[in-house]
Amino acid sequence: METYVQTVEISMLRHVPELIAWGIGLVLAIIMLRRGGVKAEKLLLAGCSLMFVAPLSSLLMNNWLSQLALEQDMSYIDMMRSPAWIVLSIVIGVLSLAGLVCLIWAFLSRFKARKPAGAA
């Protein structure tokens, strides 16, 4: 049990900077929305939320499947070949991709909304 706790702590430490960064992005997006934000700020909030949830769910998935593999006496390679690992990895990848698309769309819509001073 002690090695499982150490594994959880190491994987959590690896994701801490990323979670802090997306948490700050969430706070800033909420502040921008409360000050009268529109579409770009909503997309920023959605993108930051998805990018915050993706590493968190990856961490939880890795720890859950590692514990499951220990209980069933499976090797790590066998665990990675399991359908549960493959499906959950695809879902986490889709979450990350959707978050990235929302962030890019938010920045493009924000800069597209601004028109040059000389344009009519």
pLDDT band at 15 (very low <50, low <70, confident <90, very high): confident
Output the average pLDDT for the chain: 82
Q: What is the pLDDT of residues 39-76, one digit of tens each?
A: 888 999 999 999 999 988 888 887 787 777 778 887 77
Instruction: With beta carbons less than 8 A apart as the criterion, state whether 67 and 8 touch.
Output: no
Q: What is the pLDDT of residue 100?
A: 94
Euclidean distance between CA atoms 71 and 68, whole angstroms: 5
Name, in order, each residue with C-beta under 8 angstroms of 29's C-beta and a sequence gap of 6 or more: 37, 41, 44, 45, 48
- Find where tokens 């009268």 sit: 36
Mean pLDDT over 15-37 rounds to 89
pLDDT band at 24 (very low <50, low <70, confident <90, very high): very high
